[in-house]
């Protein structure tokens, strides 16, 4: 079945990762949630791009003056607003917005965060206050590379340039300073084949998401024989090993 990116995330609007039995081992000390806490105080105004159903904001973002979470999927925002009601948290709002067609005010936010989503650094630069900070956590081309190589497809698999480098260069070109790119290496251990299979169904790891081709169709199918072959060669005492490769970027807008 082929769908576009918008429909793909609409279908996931009420799904949570808590359903998967997995433990992880982080090999680097750059932690997205901790970076956010370092840059938020009581008076901060925060914009979270690609917020999905809002779980990350509601669980990990400290209280501050204002938090706006945006996502291009209306279904995701519906779920986020319901989660907000259930949480009882204040000073948080969710609304539909395309990251690449931002309509937020200029020079307004102290912090912009983006996790596993496309960004336009020029638009982010405009909406940040002078001295404001951008924090990005992304999925790099080499994420789950052994699995992608076996299936000959996957997120960023066909891109000539790693997504991390694309974001890094675009952030520099937008005028940001103190730009730092850090690789994030994580080992994940899945308890059963069903846990790993569920992850692959609910994330774009084996879908042809591309930073360089925005119009590619997404075909949702998994060759179970290939998956079994991967599992047989990656069984450990802790579970089925999946090697993740993310990246973190921090940057600041120049002060006037």
Cα separation of 180 and 185, whole Å?
Answer: 16
Structural contact between residues 99 and 50, judged by C-beta atoms closer than 8 angstroms: yes
**Contact in structure between 91 and 70 (CB atoms under 8 Å):** no
Round the average pLDDT of the chain to a whole number and report it.
Answer: 89
**What is the percent of the chain where pLDDT is above 90?**
76
Question: What HEC string does the chain produce?
Answer: CEECHHHHHHHCCCCCHHHCCEEEEECCCCCHHHHHHHCCCCCCEEEEECCCCCHHHHHHCCCCCEEEEEECCHHHHHHHHHHHHHHCCCCEEEEECCCCCCCCCCCCEEEEEEECCCCCHHHHHHHEEEEEEEEEEEECCCCCHHHHHHHCCCCCCCCCCCHHHHHHHHHHHCCCEEEEEEEEEEEEEECCHHHHHHHHHHCCCCCCCCCCCCCCCEECCCCHHHHHHHHHHCEECCEEEEEEEEEEEEEECCCC
* Per-residue model confidence (pLDDT) at position 218: 52
Query: What span, in angstroms and rounded, lies between the C-alpha atoms of 208 and 138?
Result: 16
pLDDT for the residue numbered 23: 96
pLDDT of residue 19: 78
- Tens of pLDDT, residue by residue over 64-121, are 999 999 999 898 999 999 999 999 898 999 999 999 999 999 999 999 999 999 999 9
User: Cα separation of 90 and 227, whole Å?
Assistant: 44
Residue 3 has pLDDT above 50, yes or no: no
pLDDT recorded at residue 149: 95
Average pLDDT over residues 155-182: 94
Q: What band does 136 get if pLDDT is binned at 50, 70 and 90?
A: very high
- CATH code assigned at 151: 3.40.50.150
Range of the domain at 116: 2-252
Report how many domains make up the chain: 1
pTM of the model: 0.88
Q: How far apart are CA 110 and CA 253, in angstroms?
A: 10
Are 111 and 47 a contacting pair, CB within 8 Å?
Answer: yes
In this predicted structure, the answer to whether residue 211 has a pLDDT above a threshold of 90 is no
Q: CB–CB of 112/236 below 8 Å?
A: no
């Amino acid at each position: 079945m082929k769908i576009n990116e918008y429909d793909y995330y609409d279908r996931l609007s009420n799904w949570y990762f808590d359903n998967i039995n997995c433990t992880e081992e982080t090999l680097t000390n750059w932690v997205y949630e901790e970076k956010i806490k370092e840059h938020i105080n009581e008076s901060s105004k925060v914009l979270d791009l690609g917020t999905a159903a809002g779980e990350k904001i509601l669980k990990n973002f400290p209280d501050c003056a204002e938090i706006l979470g945006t996502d291009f999927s209306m279904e995701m925002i519906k779920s986020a607003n319901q989660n907000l009601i259930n949480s009882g948290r204040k000073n948080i709002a969710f609304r539909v917005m395309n990251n690449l067609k931002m309509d937020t005010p200029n020079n307004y936010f102290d912090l912009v965060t983006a996790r596993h989503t496309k960004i336009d650094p020029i638009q982010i630069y405009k909406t940040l206050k002078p001295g404001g900070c951008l924090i990005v956590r992304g999925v790099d081309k080499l994420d789950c590379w052994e699995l992608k190589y076996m299936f000959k497809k996957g997120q960023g698999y066909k891109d000539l340039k790693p997504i991390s480098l694309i974001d890094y260069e675009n952030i520099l070109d937008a005028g940001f300073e103190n730009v730092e790119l850090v690789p994030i290496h994580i080992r994940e251990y899945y308890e059963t084949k069903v846990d790993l299979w569920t992850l692959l169904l609910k994330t774009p790891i084996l879908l042809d998401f591309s930073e360089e081709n925005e119009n590619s169709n997404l075909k949702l199918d998994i060759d179970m024989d290939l998956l079994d072959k991967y599992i047989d060669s990656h069984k450990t005492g802790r579970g089925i090993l999946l090697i993740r490769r993310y990246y973190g970027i921090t940057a600041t807008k120049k002060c006037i």
